[in-house]
Amino acid sequence: MGYYFSVVRKPLLNMLAKTGLLVCSNPKQIGNIMGSIKKEVKHTLYIQFLSALGDPLGNFCPKTFNTWPKFSPTIYGIYSQAATNCNDLDVRVLLSGLKYNIPKIQTQKPIDLIIFDKPYSSSEIDCFINMRLQNLAKEYNIITLNCEEFQEEEKEIILSDTKVNHTVLGGTFDRLHLAHKLLLSEAALRADKTVTVGVTEENMLFSKTLWEFIEDTDLRINNVRDFLCDICPELNYNIVPISDPFGPAITDPTMELIVVSQETFKGGEKINLIRRERNLPPLDILPVELVDEPNPNPLEEAKISSSTTRMRLLGTVLKPIQKNSNIPNIPYVIGLTGGIASGKSGVTKHMQNLGAEIINCDLIGHECYKPGKLCYKELVKVFGEQIVADNGEIDRKVLGTIVFKNKDDLEKLNNIVWPYIAAEVQNIIKSSHAKVIVVEAAVLLVAGWQNMCHEVWTTIIPREEAVKRLIERNLAPEHANNRINAQPNNKYYIQHSNVVLCSLWPVEYTKEQVKKAWDLLLKRMPS
Ligand SMILES: CC(=O)SCCNC(=O)CCNC(=O)[C@H](O)C(C)(C)COP(=O)(O)OP(=O)(O)OC[C@H]1O[C@@H](n2cnc3c(N)ncnc32)[C@H](O)[C@@H]1OP(=O)(O)O
């Protein structure tokens, strides 16, 4: 298999194109050319395919307006090849030209690179650009690939050739990926008039891996709409939030076909059961094959999934880092926070092994409880002799039971102890020679100590896992819950953190996340 680029016009000073359009005569070879295209296009790659017979450009609309579903396997093939070869590009296979006799290619984003997968004459290319492209950037490039004849075995996909007026599908659609696009494309390909999409609201997300990372419902709805309007603007789209697994699919008599993944086929059957009970016509169920994740690690799913995308965000910068001009550049201070039992100590251990100095605020705090220490007298004055143990020290277990069930008492304790801990932390930082210091503090954000840090990192775990871990540490369930309730929830931590880590999986995976976060940190730290 060989190819070369030719006919490059109006060169854009070697800049990567933001948006490319691949004019594709042979969808089977897309996998082979994606690698090269990826090097030329930064964000979005539209794909307009010509008739399988390779119509000349001037006549690109295939004469198959009555048999759109026949394009299903081709669309599946393109998205699954894109999954293997350029997962990070926003690939969009345009449907309008396949469904309707539309002379223009409309795209929401202006095209600044046109890629032809075989050579055409200059006049054919000029004619195509002038007659067909509606949203061309002011400056654009043209690339012609010259591929050797290549025929790949086509994966046999058996799909019904149903097409109807109104199709429906549902899902979370977090960080729209190629498998979502495939489902949405099927719904758009088979609908003559309307596509309804149910997008799950937050109440349906809690069982999902790292659900707190899932984009807001409005954003997911917008992304679905943006994609559908781009690939086939001729249809009506009804994109609605749903708070149960059925949404409008069990009430709307006009719906005729539901697109499901192989995994959600049962959900389609359940919808039909309910429709029958309500005397509504059942829906045709169209299952779409799952798209394989090209390089899953052992903890990731074999199919392309948003959970994998979310897991891969761990350790990366999620919230841009603002320069903190109140503190010197060196030592570089990471504030490590996170809920109770979320795995902060494990993370600090890994970071220490990688070269960071660790300041453990719990331990500094515990010093206050020894007789003779600065806060001791005040604490006994506020909470009474009941908190003093037989050895004269303050009994943290007793104090903890008091403060974690009463917000006012916790605030009183914090007001006494935090200034002492903060001063101690600053002293240690001042006299340190380390390049990176990790300040481990469970309630760093509540105390406002991000001011002392360059970055905030957080460890999270699901609430149930935190309760389980605390019970294993001999805490009664009631006390475990009181302690968790005394702290912000994971969403709050994520919103206010630059980097997030999660210790839900085997320790090796936490270690991998920390290593990834550390390597990225070294790259962005001021030298
Ligand atoms: C700003 C900071 O984060 S400083 C570090 C946290 N320390 C403080 O805030 C000082 C006040 N707290 C304390 O002195 C102690 O936690 C006590 C006396 C209340 C309880 O002592 P102990 O029973 O020994 O518990 P310990 O100190 O190990 O803390 C247990 C958990 O309570 C949580 N916790 C501690 N202080 C607080 C607080 N002020 N508010 C909410 N949760 C807290 C933490 O999650 C901690 O576990 P973690 O470090 O694994 O996340």
Which protein residue's CA is at the shortest distance from atom 23 of ligand 1?
397
Binding site membership of 383 for ligand 1 (Cβ less than 6 Å): no
Distance from C-alpha of 248 to C-alpha of 163, rounded to nearest angstrom: 20
Predicted local confidence at residue 57, as pLDDT: 65
- Domain that residue 197 falls in: 164-310
Is pLDDT larger for residue 287 or for residue 160?
Answer: 287
- Do residues 374 and 482 share a domain? yes
Question: Looking at 339-381, which runs of residues are DSSP E strands?
Answer: 357-360
Predicted local confidence at residue 22, as pLDDT: 93
Q: Hunting for tokens 């998205």 — which residue is that?
A: 79
- Interface pTM, i.e. ipTM: 0.95
In a domain, 150, yes or no: no
> Which residues, other chains included, contact 26 with Cβ-Cβ below 8 Å and sequence gap of 6+?
54, 117, 118, 147, 150
CA 75 to chain centre: 23
Q: Hunting for tokens 């006494």 — which residue is that?
A: 416
Predicted local confidence at residue 330, as pLDDT: 92
In a domain, 152, yes or no: no
Binding site membership of 398 for ligand 1 (Cβ less than 6 Å): no
- Do residues 372 and 438 share a domain? yes
For residue 212, pLDDT beyond 80:
yes
Binding site membership of 460 for ligand 1 (Cβ less than 6 Å): no
pLDDT digits (tens, 9 = 90+) for 446-463: 999 999 999 999 999 999
Binding site membership of 441 for ligand 1 (Cβ less than 6 Å): yes
Considering 143-147, 153-157, 252-256, 298-302, the range whose residues carry the highest mean pLDDT is 252-256
If you average pLDDT over residues 426-433, what whole number do you get? 96
Atom of ligand 1 nearest to the CA of 337: 3
Residue 221: pLDDT band by 50, 70, 90 thresholds?
Answer: very high
Is pLDDT larger for residue 113 or for residue 68?
Answer: 113
CA–centroid distance, 333 to ligand 1, in Å, is: 21
- Do residues 325 and 264 share a domain? no
Residue 28: pLDDT band by 50, 70, 90 thresholds?
Answer: confident
Binding site membership of 400 for ligand 1 (Cβ less than 6 Å): yes
Binding site membership of 442 for ligand 1 (Cβ less than 6 Å): yes
Q: Among 7-21, 267-281, 344-358, where is mean pLDDT lowest?
A: 7-21
- Do residues 73 and 186 share a domain? no
If you average pLDDT over residues 317-328, what whole number do you get? 94
Distance from C-alpha of 77 to C-alpha of 52, rounded to nearest angstrom: 13
Last residue of a domain, one of 260, 282, 310: 310
Distance from C-alpha of 182 to C-alpha of 73, rounded to nearest angstrom: 10
Q: Is 34 helix (H, G, I), strand (E, B) or coil?
A: helix
Query: How many domains would you assign to the chain?
Result: 3
- Do residues 225 and 296 share a domain? yes
Please, what is the end-to-end C-alpha distance for the chain in angstroms?
Answer: 45
> Which residues, other chains included, contact 12 with Cβ-Cβ below 8 Å and sequence gap of 6+?
112, 139, 140, 141
pLDDT digits (tens, 9 = 90+) for 370-402: 998 888 999 999 999 999 999 999 999 999 999
CA–centroid distance, 511 to ligand 1, in Å, is: 24
- Do residues 341 and 303 share a domain? no
Residue 65: pLDDT band by 50, 70, 90 thresholds?
Answer: very low
- Do residues 118 and 228 share a domain? no
- Do residues 339 and 250 share a domain? no
In this structure, what CATH number is given to the domain that contains residue 63? 3.40.50
- Do residues 339 and 424 share a domain? yes
